Structure 1
Amino acid sequence: MVKSNPPFTELSMFDLRGKQSVRATFKLSQKAIDAIGLVAVHMGIKQKSLFDHIIEDHASLDQLAQTIQIRRFKQLDRKQKTFVLSRRTIEALTAISKTYNMPRDALVEYSIKKLESVIQSEKIRHKERKSLAGNLENHFNDVLSLYRDSAMTLGEEDPFCRHLEKLIDHMKRTAEDVDTFLEKSKVLEDF
């Protein structure tokens, strides 16, 4: 008779432990702190997930560690900031830090710099979105004009007019959502 494995094997328990959240404090530049916050808020990603993505990969972190110039890092004006990270991310940071005899702060600082290209790309897209939002308003005004003409010709209770009225209501809600998103994205303009 074959013995079945319990629902949680040692390997899966190890994987779960790696996903545990822990707090860690780093001394980082204000630009790095702003970058992680901006990307998290703008893209709706938890900071912990961002850290997992940019730090947890041992090979990338190892490669990055080889390029860091500690003398330059020490010249940065930095302040303490506490973040929530996964245990696996902390372990990756600690391992690379020990391997290269380098502060974890430096690894985090330069890992966050990878986000700058994402921010610059989003900054360009934000500018394009603002331009397109102007077109959205023009199209809304066209539909509103069509509704007014239709209501004059057919009457407000005509099914065609009622459908246009629903479309206008939907367009108003969508325009409000777009405006809210663009307002939230304004932080990109100053980065």
Structure 2
Amino acid sequence: MTRPKSFIHLEFTEESSARLRGHQSVRTTFKLSERSINALSVLAGQLGIKQKSLFDHLVEDVQALKTIAREFETFPGDGQRVAKTYVISRKTLENLEKVSTKYNTPRDALVEFSIERILPLIEQEKEKYARRMKIARQLGELAVESRQLLQEAIEELGEDDHLVQELVSVARSTMAARQRVDAYLHKAKGIEDF
């Protein structure tokens, strides 16, 4: 096989290899409160991202982990916690292990308090969800009204009238939009109970 003339030779340095290894996914288990487990799940759903991405974002911030570790005093017993396995990046796990060891702070506590930082975001999203639900109800009413208007136009003008054809398009678009909005809100429904 001949290479194209524009082919660029790629070399891996120790640094680039280490960076790529840091992006590898690993499975690890933490003992967390139900509230933290639910918070991570709900916010990832609301934002439309994977839990891994959100988890990595929260825990890869070494400065935040150090701050949590310095302020750490006690961590309630395991009786209130649930073992939960997450897929996270190797780099995130390494950062977590380093801070945990250096500050003699339980890994689970670092994760739990990192997740606690997102609770204000969940409250904001919960309020936004309520506003979305109100608008979705109005969209539902609009869909019903557009179908009623279309029916009236058919009765008055007949199915072949140009205006009726435009109203068919409006009614279809409104119904399709309502279905997409309902599907989105159904996925985000978990935030109501948080």
TM-score tier after normalising by the smaller chain length: 0.7 to 0.9
List runs of 5+ in structure 2 lacking aligned partners.
1-7
- Counterpart selection for 1:176 from 163, 167, 179: 179
The answer to whether the Cα contact below 8 Å between 1:29 and 1:76 also exists between their aligned partners in 2 is no
Shift in CA distance, 147/7, structure 1 to aligned 2, threshold 3 Å: farther
CA apart distance, 1:157:
1.5
Q: Measure, in 2, the Cα distance between the counterparts of 1:175 and 1:168.
A: 11
CA apart distance, 1:146:
3.1
List runs of 5+ in structure 1 lacking aligned partners.
none
1:40 corresponding residue in structure 2: 44
TM-score (norm: length of structure 1)? 0.88
1:107 corresponding residue in structure 2: 110
2:4 corresponding residue in structure 1: none
- Counterpart selection for 1:79 from 59, 77, 82: 82
Moved more, 152-161 or 21-30: 152-161
CA apart distance, 1:17:
0.7
2:142 corresponding residue in structure 1: 139
Instruction: Please tell me whether residue 19 in structure 1 is matched to residue 20 in structure 2.
Output: no
Q: Measure, in 2, the Cα distance between the counterparts of 1:66 and 1:74.
A: 20
1:189 corresponding residue in structure 2: 192
Shift in CA distance, 14/5, structure 1 to aligned 2, threshold 3 Å: farther
Q: Measure, in 2, the Cα distance between the counterparts of 1:150 and 1:10.
A: 72
Q: Structure 1: which amino acid aligns with 2:67?
A: Q
Q: Measure, in 1, the Cα distance between the counterparts of 2:184 and 2:70.
A: 39
CA apart distance, 1:49:
0.7
Identical-pair percentage: 40
The answer to whether the Cα contact below 8 Å between 1:29 and 1:79 also exists between their aligned partners in 2 is yes
CA apart distance, 1:76:
6.5
Pairwise mapping of residues 52-91 of structure 1 onto structure 2 (< 5 A)?
52-70=56-74, 72-74=75-77, 77-91=80-94
Task: Describe the SS at the equivalent of 2:76.
Answer: helix
How much is the aligned-residue C-alpha RMSD, in angstroms?
2.0
Q: Measure, in 2, the Cα distance between the counterparts of 1:115 and 1:182.
A: 20
Q: Measure, in 1, the Cα distance between the counterparts of 2:141 and 2:60.
A: 46
Give the count of matched residue pairs. Answer: 187
Q: Measure, in 2, the Cα distance between the counterparts of 1:8 and 1:164.
A: 61
CA apart distance, 1:27:
1.0
The answer to whether the Cα contact below 8 Å between 2:72 and 2:105 also exists between their aligned partners in 1 is no
2:170 corresponding residue in structure 1: 167
The answer to whether the Cα contact below 8 Å between 2:46 and 2:125 also exists between their aligned partners in 1 is no
